[in-house]
Amino acid sequence: MTPAIATPSQPAQLSHGMSLEPHNSMRQTIARRLVDAKQTVPHFYLETCCTVDALLAARKELNQALEKAGSELRATINDLIVKAYALGIARTPEAMVTWSDEGLIRHESVDIGLAVALDKGLITPIIRNAAQLSAGALAKATKQAIERAREGKLSFEEYSGGLAGISNLGMYGVSSFSAIINPPQSMNLAVGAVEKN
């Protein structure tokens, strides 16, 4: 199968009431990388619904313990999903790999790329060694990574590499979606909203 040859796009056709806002460099890079990922990385999708009563109870218990300890930190549902995701990957040796042209690269730690939306685009800070962090430490690392991303303070090392990604649109009421793998990562977990049944 031969990939389609990219052709220069036509100039935007503007009509009354429209204006053109040029793409910033971040959006251009995101678009280029995601198109490349969809064209060169094999994607397949699985979907399931999960009962999260135990996760919600664990979050409540963790947050009560954090409050009792005098911490202002509160764990989010996403923090605990990241923790469960990292543990699941760590327990599955076949998932602890990324692709290279020379062969599979085996990873010793589960480094999770967390999709963070910014006004100017999207960035994926990496939560290093996520499976080894306690739930509280992971919540702290996630909060710090999101804050640094939104402040534009991430170093290249803080958002490069990673074993797997996670994209959560649940806070926007999205029940399910298919995420695009962000190379060199080998998978991306798409998380939808918690719904009562």
Q: What is the DSSP string of 59-72?
A: HHHHHHHHHHTT--
Instruction: Tell me the pLDDT tens digit for each residue of 116-146.
Output: 999 888 899 999 999 999 999 999 999 999 9
Number of domains in the chain: 1
To the nearest whole number, what is the mean pLDDT of the chain? 91
Band of residue 10 on the pLDDT scale cut at 50, 70, 90:
low
Q: Answer whether 145's CB lies under 8 Å from 137's CB.
A: no
Q: What is the pLDDT of residue 8?
A: 54
Q: Is residue 12 part of a domain?
A: no
Instruction: Tell me the pLDDT tens digit for each residue of 144-194.
Output: 999 999 999 999 999 999 999 999 999 999 999 999 999 999 999 999 999
Q: What is the pLDDT of residue 9?
A: 64
pLDDT at 6 over 70: no
Q: What is the share, in percent, of the chain residues with pLDDT greater than 70?
A: 94
Whole-prediction pTM value? 0.84
Report the C-alpha gap between 171 and 101 in whole angstroms: 37
Q: What is the mean pLDDT of residues 47-59?
A: 94
Q: Is residue 5 part of a domain?
A: no
Residue 155 is part of a domain; what is its CATH number? Answer: 3.30.559.10
15: part of which helix (H) or strand (E)? none
What is the domain extent for residue 111? 25-191
Q: Is residue 75 part of a domain?
A: yes
Single-letter code of the amino acid located at 155: S
74 or 40: whose pLDDT is higher? Answer: 74
Single-letter code of the amino acid located at 190: A
Instruction: Tell me the pLDDT tens digit for each residue of 151-161.
Output: 999 999 999 99
Instruction: Tell me the pLDDT tens digit for each residue of 74-114.
Output: 999 999 999 999 999 999 999 999 998 899 999 999 999 99
Q: Answer whether 173's CB lies under 8 Å from 150's CB.
A: no
